[in-house]
A and B are shown apart, each in its own frame.
Chain A
Amino acid sequence: MFSILPQILVTGIAVGGIYALVASGLTVAYAVTRHINLMQAHFLMLSLYLVVLFQSIWGLDPYVSALLVVPILFGFGLLVFLTFMRGMLETNVMTMFQLFIGGLMVIENAVLMVFSTTPRQAESVITMQRIVLGNNIMLPLDQVIACLASVGIGVGGYFLLKSTEFGRCVRAVSNDAEAASLMGIKVARVQWMVFGFSFVLIAIAAVLIAPSQWVNPNLGGQYMIFTFIVITLGGFGNFVGALLAGFLLGILQTVCTAIIGTTIGLAIPYLFFVAVFLWRPRGLVE
């Protein structure tokens, strides 16, 4: 039991790290625009396909292709902001929601047409490599990297929002956009920068899971519901909350799958959500 515990923990943090990265970007974007970008998880799927694509064309390792995927996704972030958000921020929540659903239909089916439903995976030089600690503790290397990187980026993002000028602007806009604009903050600029930032987080998450994740066009839908759970648990618009909830959810899911079994493990996010919701309806972190 104790020999596999570190491995479960690392896997849990790696899995949770992905939820945390995707959801925390989404939640900050919500904080400054008041709209949930439903396509977030679909862009995770899209960037996984980009990683696969770059490998099949140029033979790039997933970690190297980050150099391409990150700027491309930043561009996508700006594109989404321009086509979906600009001039629509005052629109009814339901209408915006449907607009995003139209968007995710376009993405999912475009990917389906190009790549078909066959699951694909990008191979890295470190796939299947393990770090051996002591007697029989073995940690998959890609998960250790995902674990460290997601924690590092989470902490980095926290300080970016906490102590830089940009972060101050973001917090001001999320508190009250109108007041912020009166103080001379360019609200639209903050909004598109945050959108770009959230898409960069998606790209990083995609690169981190690429070596161990099989990707098919339905992956976006699967991740979508988890990101919903994470941002609801973390409290809407709360960066730190989303990070913590993401990691917590990943660890819980992995531990329960390992100890009890797969069926229960899959139900854990939902059960956990219900339990927490009944206890703290407005999120774990307030």
Chain B
Amino acid sequence: MEKKKQSPYIAIGIGLIAMVALPHFLDLTALAVAIVTLWTMYLCSTWNVCGMAGIFCMAHGSALVAGAYLSTLLWRYFGISPWIGMLAGIAAAGLFGWLIAALGFRARLSSMAFALFTAIWGSIGYFIVQSYNFFGASNCISNAYAGTHVGLFQFENPIVFYYIILAMNVGAVLLSNHILKSRFGLYLKAVNSNERFAAAAGVDVVRYKTIAMTLSMMLFAIAGTFWAQYSRLASADLAGIQAIMFAILVVVLGGVGTLWGPVLGAAILMPIREILRIKFVSLPGLSLFLFGLIIILVLRTLKTGILTWYSQYRQKKRFIDIASMGKGTPHDFEMPSVGVEK
């Protein structure tokens, strides 16, 4: 194993340099696809903070809306810079996340019940935005574009947004890495693998789950503000259950609770989705139909996310190797530290 420890850093370095150079080789359409991909990747990485603890939360759409609408409305009606609006959005999203977590976890809902519970809360956010004129009702609300201005988070050139979202992704991965290696991450993993055992071992389950969810929602609000500034409008679609379901889908396919699972999932799935969409633009529905089939096939065969499956597969192979060669004992066998199945 020692030999392999160097290689990830080299791979990451090369990948990062490629990502930095990438926008200069893309036309506008491809750049838009790249930005959407990176944005989804950020959503997946930050949702994964919930995933590490096995919290199946679908209320994150409300956090996106908080980020998008608060920054837009504050700038439109009060002339407050979106950067400050973003902080307001983060605070609101955090508060909302804490509220839902406090309600849901104290009621001791099962994982499934909690998922539906949060889905319904997410829909309430959608409903509120949809039905009041202040939020532009069913229309979107444009964010009063005033030309490139760093203080207002507005840029003419989409490449700037590309670099911002790339930086956000790097930040998200670094944060996930930090969490996974910290004591907090250990608590989350313990809660994920078995809540009762974790509680018996002295982990304050409700507290750490609440923290994870609040943190994840706050990070989502940043993505909401980013999207509102990039697309120059805040729309209620962000709160729709579809957006968050898709993000969770990507995380699960990549590998829940792993560091690179969400990144890998987004990097594979988003281009596939976009390419299918562009290829079959004449027949609406066909692209998502094929996309659904791909998901079913992958999950049905692997029965878990790609990275989780891969680490399980490697452990199994190593175990067999050790056993057949007679070198070492099964005690060398390292338990997979990621995405423990329930």
Q: Do A and B come from one complex?
A: yes
Binding site for B on A (CB under 8 A): 30, 34-36, 83-84, 88, 91-95, 97-99, 101-106, 108-113, 217, 221, 225, 228-229, 231-232, 236, 263, 266-267, 270, 273-274, 277-278, 281-282
Interface: B288 (CB within 8 A):
yes
Closest beta carbon of chain B to A228's beta carbon, Å: 4
Q: Are A106 and B286 in contact (CB under 8 A)?
A: no
Binding site for A on B (CB under 8 A): 51, 54, 56, 103, 106-113, 115-117, 119-120, 123-124, 127, 131, 241-242, 245, 248-249, 252-253, 256, 283-289, 291-296, 299-300, 303-305, 341-342
> A128 vs B54: C-alpha distance in the bound complex, in angstroms?
51
Task: List A contacts of B120 (CB < 8 A).
Answer: 225, 228-229, 232, 270, 273
> Given A98-B252, A105-B289, A281-B108, list of 19 further CB < 8 A pairs?
A83-B300, A84-B296, A88-B303, A94-B248, A97-B56, A97-B115, A99-B300, A101-B295, A102-B249, A102-B293, A105-B291, A106-B289, A106-B293, A109-B292, A110-B285, A110-B289, A221-B241, A225-B241, A232-B120
> A104 vs B218: C-alpha distance in the bound complex, in angstroms?
30
Q: Are B124 and A270 in contact (CB under 8 A)?
A: yes
- Select which of B124, B242, B300 is within 8 A of A274 by beta carbon: B124
Task: List B contacts of A92 (CB < 8 A).
Answer: 256, 304, 341-342
Task: List B contacts of A108 (CB < 8 A).
Answer: 285, 288
Task: List A contacts of B288 (CB < 8 A).
Answer: 105, 108-109
> A36 vs B117: C-alpha distance in the bound complex, in angstroms?
13
Give the nearest-CB partner of B252 in chain A.
Answer: A98
Q: Are B111 and A277 in contact (CB under 8 A)?
A: no
Q: Are B103 and A36 in contact (CB under 8 A)?
A: no
**What would 26 A/B residue contacts be, using CB atoms closer than 8 Å?**
A83-B296, A92-B304, A93-B342, A95-B304, A98-B249, A101-B249, A102-B293, A103-B296, A106-B289, A106-B293, A108-B285, A109-B285, A109-B288, A109-B292, A110-B289, A112-B284, A113-B284, A225-B123, A225-B241, A228-B120, A232-B120, A266-B131, A267-B131, A270-B120, A274-B124, A281-B107
Task: List A contacts of B292 (CB < 8 A).
Answer: 101-106, 109
Task: List A contacts of B305 (CB < 8 A).
Answer: 95
> A108 vs B287: C-alpha distance in the bound complex, in angstroms?
12
Task: List B contacts of A84 (CB < 8 A).
Answer: 296, 300
Give the nearest-CB partner of A281 in chain B.
Answer: B107
Given contacts A36-B112, A95-B252, contact A225 B245 (CB under 8 A): no
Q: Are B341 and A102 in contact (CB under 8 A)?
A: no
> A94 vs B113: C-alpha distance in the bound complex, in angstroms?
12
Task: List A contacts of B119 (CB < 8 A).
Answer: 225, 228
Q: Are A236 and B113 in contact (CB under 8 A)?
A: yes
> A35 vs B111: C-alpha distance in the bound complex, in angstroms?
11
Give the nearest-CB partner of A232 in chain B.
Answer: B116
Given contacts A92-B304, A232-B113, A236-B113, contact A102 B296 (CB under 8 A): yes
Task: List B contacts of A267 (CB < 8 A).
Answer: 127, 131
> A184 vs B241: C-alpha distance in the bound complex, in angstroms?
42
Give the nearest-CB partner of A225 in chain B.
Answer: B123
> A281 vs B105: C-alpha distance in the bound complex, in angstroms?
10
> A30 vs B131: C-alpha distance in the bound complex, in angstroms?
33
Q: Are B241 and A102 in contact (CB under 8 A)?
A: no
> A91 vs B342: C-alpha distance in the bound complex, in angstroms?
7
- Select which of A91, A98, A266 is within 8 A of B253 by beta carbon: A98
> A159 vs B127: C-alpha distance in the bound complex, in angstroms?
38
Q: Are B285 and A99 in contact (CB under 8 A)?
A: no
Given contacts A95-B305, A106-B292, A109-B292, contact A270 B127 (CB under 8 A): yes
> A104 vs B249: C-alpha distance in the bound complex, in angstroms?
13
User: Which 8 A-B pairs give the minimum distances between C-beta atoms?
Assistant: A105-B292, A281-B107, A102-B295, A112-B285, A109-B285, A109-B289, A106-B292, A113-B285
Q: Are A93 and B56 in contact (CB under 8 A)?
A: yes
Q: Are B341 and A99 in contact (CB under 8 A)?
A: no
Q: Are A236 and B285 in contact (CB under 8 A)?
A: no
Q: Are A113 and B293 in contact (CB under 8 A)?
A: no
Q: Are B116 and A99 in contact (CB under 8 A)?
A: no
Given contacts A113-B283, A113-B285, A274-B124, contact A106 B113 (CB under 8 A): no
> A99 vs B111: C-alpha distance in the bound complex, in angstroms?
16
